[in-house]
Each structure stands twice: as structure tokens, then as C-alpha cells.
Amino acid sequence: MQKPRFPITDDHMHIDPVNGIGINAVKEFARSGGTHIFLVTKPSWSFGIDAVRPDDFRPVFEKTIALAVECREAGVTAFPILGVHPAEISRLTARMSLADAEALMIGALRVAAEYAMNGEAVALKSGRPHYEVDAEVWAASNRVLASALQFSAECGCAVQLHAESGPCADVVGMAEGIGMPVDRVVKHFATPDTPLHPSFIANHESIPEAAEEGKVFTMESDYIDERDRPGSVLGPRSVPRFTLRHLEAGRLSEEAVWRIHAEVPERVYGVEITL
């Protein structure tokens, strides 16, 4: 395989060897020109885990770290992002109180932060439900999110947020109040109006214009790697394919490609992205 001319980085990808095609998705990404991925923890239920205490999330985190090693062996540099999917709160409250679910999620994020502190992860994952919930669940989810911001500030790492569509502007005040740099708070599946760091889905129509204006953003596939949902979000080849299409059509310059796929993620996550 010919060496790429520049890095192509997917800012949010899942790999699931249990429910999906696993490392074969990474190989597809590489064959299409992809070089680096931010490998995001899947929900605990993807691995059949019904967590009752924070340490029950360790197998999920350690599997993500092990998968990152497999990605590197397949020729793609992978950076683990560990945390708790915000939809966990809905599953957990089906079998425990809301207060216990909140405490469990915060405890699991504290465990994830241990790995970040040790250099085994580059960011935490948190957020709040992207679907309608009652006021009590929303308030609890915001407390979980605030804890993730606090742990990220303490670790000196970034945090990725899975949240409702839209700017999530209120998170700015939450982050600033605890000393978490807003430019390291990544809004996964972002819209252009967010004041947080936007990670745009690869087919987002705003990418060429945002690049032309020199805006700071990254690109993602949100590939979920589940056989029973093959058409959900985008495939593993999408970030390289859309990047190269824009480049060939003159909608992105090589300078913009380097900025989007190397310079910006290096600053946000504190990693090194090289070929």
C-alpha cells in the first residue's frame, strides 16, 4: 500500500469485535487513506456488562486500550477515548435508583480518568442524553457531565461530548467554572454554531466553507461497527473518502487537510500525528 501524502484522522470511531467486523473496519479505513483514529469506548451493554459498581467498566476500558494496540498492528495509529455513554443513565435507572445510577457513572468516569492520568487514554467521553428525558434525569446527567469536565481538567486531557443536537452553549460556563479549556471540549457530531470544539460528521455540508474560513474543527465518521445496524451513521471509509473528494474537487487545499487532520487534533488532544 502506497504511503499517504498526509494524515487523515477520524475523530470519533468505534470498533466492536463482538457485534461488528472489528479490526477489519480499521483495515478498510487504512485502505481508503486513513492513518489515525480516536477510538471511542462503546457502551457497557455492547459487551454484555450490567454494571453495578465503577470497576465493572474496567473491562470495557481495557478492551478499548487493547483494540488500540491491534489498530497499530494493522497500520493505523489509534488514540483511546474512555468514558461512559450518556444513554447508560436510562438503562441503569431501569434496575437502580437515579441517585445510584448517577453515582455509578461518576465513579466509572473516575476510573476512566485513572487511565488518562497514566497516559493510556487521551480523552474522556461523557455528555448527556440526545433524546427527551425528564427534568430529574437531565439534571443528573448534567452533574455527570460536570464531573467529566472536572476529571479532564485534573488530568489535563480533552473530553468528547455525546449530547443533543445544537450548540450546547451552556457547557462553556460549566467548563470555564472548573478551569477546563473550552477548546479541548469536543462536541461530537457537531453543528457549526457550537462554541465548543466541533467534530463534524464527514459528510457535513459545512466542511469546505469552514475550511475556507480557517475555522478550527475535526472530522469523524461515528462508525458504530454493529452488524445489525449496518447503515447507521457512516462507514469506516467515510472520513478519508470525503476528505479526498473535497481535495480532488478543489474544495479543500492540502494545507487545510494537514490542519484538519494533524495540527488541530494535536492541539486538542495533546498527541503527535505524523506519517
pLDDT digits (tens, 9 = 90+) for 204-260: 999 999 999 999 999 999 999 999 887 678 999 999 999 999 999 999 999 999 999
The burial class, CB within 10 Å (0-12 / 13-18 / 19+), for 70 is middle
**Are the C-beta atoms of 64 and 41 separated by less than 8 Å?**
yes
Kindly report which listed range (2-6, 140-144, 175-179) carries the lowest average pLDDT score: 2-6
Domain annotation covers residue 194: yes
Domain annotation covers residue 274: no
Q: Is 255 left (phi over 0), alpha (psi -120 to 50) or beta?
A: alpha
CATH of the domain at 33: 3.20.20.140
d(CA 9, CA 196): 19
| Domains in the chain, number | 1
**Are the C-beta atoms of 16 and 64 separated by less than 8 Å?**
no
What is the predicted pLDDT for the residue at 232? 78
pLDDT digits (tens, 9 = 90+) for 31-78: 999 999 999 999 999 989 999 999 999 999 999 999 999 999 999 999
What is the predicted pLDDT for the residue at 174? 97
Domain annotation covers residue 106: yes
**Are the C-beta atoms of 82 and 161 separated by less than 8 Å?**
no
Q: H/E element holding 159?
A: strand 158-162
Domain annotation covers residue 54: yes
Domain annotation covers residue 225: yes
Domain annotation covers residue 273: no
What is the predicted pLDDT for the residue at 250? 97
Domain annotation covers residue 275: no
Domain annotation covers residue 2: no
Domain that holds residue 109: 9-268
